[in-house]
Structure 1
Amino acid sequence: MEMMERYIYAVTKYLPEAQREDVAMELRGNILDMLPESPSEEEVLKVLKSLGSPRKLSEEYNTRKRYLIGPSYFDKYLEVLKLVVSIVMIVLLVVNLVSFVFGTSTESFGVGEIGRLIGTIISSSISGGLQAAFWVTVSFVILENTAAEEGYHELFKKEWSPRDLAPVPSSTSLKISKVEAAISLVVTVIFMIFLYMGSDKFGIFWMKDGGTLENIPVFHLERLQSYLPLFWIFAIAQVILFIWQMVKEYWDMPMAVFNLVFELGFCVLAIVILTDGALLNPALYTELQESMGLAPEVAKEWITRGKIFTGVLIVVLSLIDSLSTLYKVRKGMRKKEA
């Protein structure tokens, strides 16, 4: 009866979590009533085919009718929408506050500056939230209209069959952590906002004579902007992966492979950036030499070692994360085959 459980899982995963257990019990009872005692695999197959595709059947169980986003994805859409909009608005709040603290001189600090800060926070939060909501909605509209029905291989024009339904996940180790997925998205959002709003604020702060705080930007801003198209590609890929994770809930092989390719591509980009001699601000070398009394070759050596350490750390962490996930998925598949 393993095929029946796969079918029930495929139906209930489209439903809100609060409904899943009750619907599973009801559906299991209905299927058993339609089967003879000790049914053969062909008899089970015939009954499941008569019930139709899991996604369409789930719409009958879901009494809440939706419009723009269908019932199969609406609850996931709301979950992702709330999470993404909240992340974007909170990050914008933090970035604006940091920019205000480090970008406003003590002499000009006053009620007017605070008023402008509040206005900036409100306008950027509304704008960022609306853009996030728009792109999440577009992503789910595309997902719903292009997602292939489970058990149906559209590429080969094959008739829908319960035999091709995905197995019921049996390992909690394959369950995707929403916290980890959200953290990855937060880091991506922070980085992209940093590129547009605060890349000149990312630097080393020195206390100069007289008690004034001076910021020496780490990057050559024009050179950093030249990498913007590549950053956008990886940001979009991260959003795609995040939505995929929220919808699927469990790691599978296609997602694990996508994650591996994403991490490898990110490692390549990181290495290219770290080996770009024109990316760092030339004033950074001068400031290190003057403020710390270092010889030019020593300052250069420090920065080179910092680049090497950063590159190795990125590569090691990325490979550990992606390869361990791939191993867990492969291990889970072997258990099911056994």
Structure 2
Amino acid sequence: MDSNKKYGADLIERYLYAVAKRLPKEQRADIEKELAGLIDDMLAEKAAGGEPSPEDVRAVLLELGKPADLAAKYRGSKNCLIGPDYYGFYITVLKIVLAAVAGGLAIALTIGAIAGGRGNLLEYFGNAVSNLVSALFQAFAWVTVVFALMQRYNAKIDEKGKQWNPSDLPEVPAKKARIPKSEPVAGIVFTVLAIVLFNGAPEIFGIHWFGETHAFVPIFDMDVFRSMLPFINAVFVLGIVKELFKLAIEKYNLKLAAAVTAINIVSLALTLHVFASPAIWNADFITQLQAVQSFAMPADFDLVYHWGRVPHYVAVVAVFGCVVDTMTTIAKGIRYGRGR
């Protein structure tokens, strides 16, 4: 295959990939096949039976338009507030966030009902539904506002920038370099769940006894915990931002490695500030445990010593996790950051 033919085939492959990745998974194969056939027909007509040149390929792709716009036509969607460049990503993130908020609140409310006793079930159920609707509405509003701002900012850049050119299409990443959507999606879901639980049901973090009476021993000093919530939430938000970077970039490269490294450093600093300090941990944890009649202190395990070492253990785990995640992402970024 000569260089011109190879370049044309590569450009078509990049265009097909750019369109397909914006489509629902179940439609991608069929639409990609259909679009490839359409491009072949247009090239045959353009080349008048001869061998299509790179200029012919560029002309056909320009005629088809930006991948995001073409994908929007295939989806049959007319987007105003959120344009085709972001619509698919917006829907994905919105589904993730709404599902995570609903699941997290359901868990938090269930725990609250169990820990707080039955009380007036009808009143509790009414408040629960009200809180759920309010939380879902807020989640929807914030996600929509963020993407609307992204769309507006991107539109201003497009107005000032040059016209779209097929040569600007990013290369199709190697399969091993691609990040499956399931990974960042799972990360976002669990992070949102953590946000809901830490903010809405901090009583989950402790030891519960359910006997004739309910006993609860918190692992945190709740006053200090509440004062640290802004820092804890900042760690979670940074975690979501990191996963959004993965969803948006879709592959390991040096840009993602730099973003992950910066986010991990800040997150680690905040995590150590909060959890490596003895202040946030319940200083009376052992005493409160011993006060529970059914609890027996283990004979062959120095619980008092190890509880005092909890901040150290948390720091070690946090640093280890940060280093592994950062170095893994950097290694993959270096390996796959150039070319395909």
> TM-score with structure 2 length normalisation?
0.78
Identity %: 27
Matched, 1:197 2:200: yes
Partner of 1:30: 42
1:234 aligned onto 2:235:
yes
* Change beyond 3 A, Cα 1:286–1:170: same
Structure 2 Cα separation of the partners of residues 272 and 40 of structure 1: 60
Deviation at residue 197 of structure 1 after TM alignment = 2.2
Q: Which position in structure 2 is the counterpart of 1:219?
A: 220
Once residues 38 and 60 of structure 2 are traced to their aligned partners in structure 1, the CA distance between those partners, rounded to angstroms, is 15
Aligned residues: 321
1:7 to 7, 15, 35: 15
Q: Secondary structure in 1 aligned to 2:207?
A: strand
Q: Contact (CA 8 Å) 1:14, 1:73: kept in 2 or not?
A: no
- Cα 1:11–1:293 change in 2 (3 A) is closer
| Change in 2 beyond 3 A, CA 1:211/1:335 | same
2:290–2:297 contact (8 Å) kept in structure 1: yes
How far residue 129 of structure 1 moved from its aligned partner, in angstroms, is 1.1
Give the Cα separation in 2 of the matches to 1:130 and 1:226: 26
Instruction: Name the CA shift for 1:103/1:220 in 2 (closer, same or farther; >3 Å).
Output: same
> Counterpart of 2:215 in structure 1: which amino acid?
E
Amino acid at match of 1:13: K
Q: Report which stretch shifted further, 60-69 or 131-140.
A: 60-69
1:142 to 109, 132, 149: 149
Distance of 1:133 and 1:76 partners within structure 2: 14
Q: Deviations over 1:253-289 (max 9, x none)?
A: 3234322322332222222223312212222143356
Find the counterpart in structure 1 of residue 310 from structure 2: 306
Secondary structure of the residue aligned to 1:227 is helix
- Mapped partners of 1:131, 1:27: distance in 2: 44
- Alignment-mate amino acid for residue 258 of structure 1: A
Aligned to 2:282: 281
- The SS at the match of 2:217 is strand
Report the secondary structure of 2:208's partner residue: strand
Say whether 1:66 aligns with 2:66.
Answer: no
Q: Which amino acid aligns with 2:144?
A: T
1:42 Cα deviation (Å)? Answer: 5.5
Find 1:75's aligned residue among 64, 88, 92: 88
Aligned to 2:97: 84
1:1-338 equivalence runs, <5 A: 1=8, 2-17=10-25, 18=27, 20-21=31-32, 22-31=34-43, 33-35=45-47, 37-38=50-51, 41=54, 44-45=57-58, 48=61, 53-59=66-72, 63-104=76-117, 109=118, 113-147=120-154, 160-178=164-182, 180-205=183-208, 212-287=213-288, 300-334=304-338, 336=340
Q: Once superposed, what is the RMSD of the aligned Cα atoms?
A: 3.5
Q: Report if the CA contact (8 A) 1:99-1:198 is conserved.
A: yes
What amino acid is the match of 1:5? E
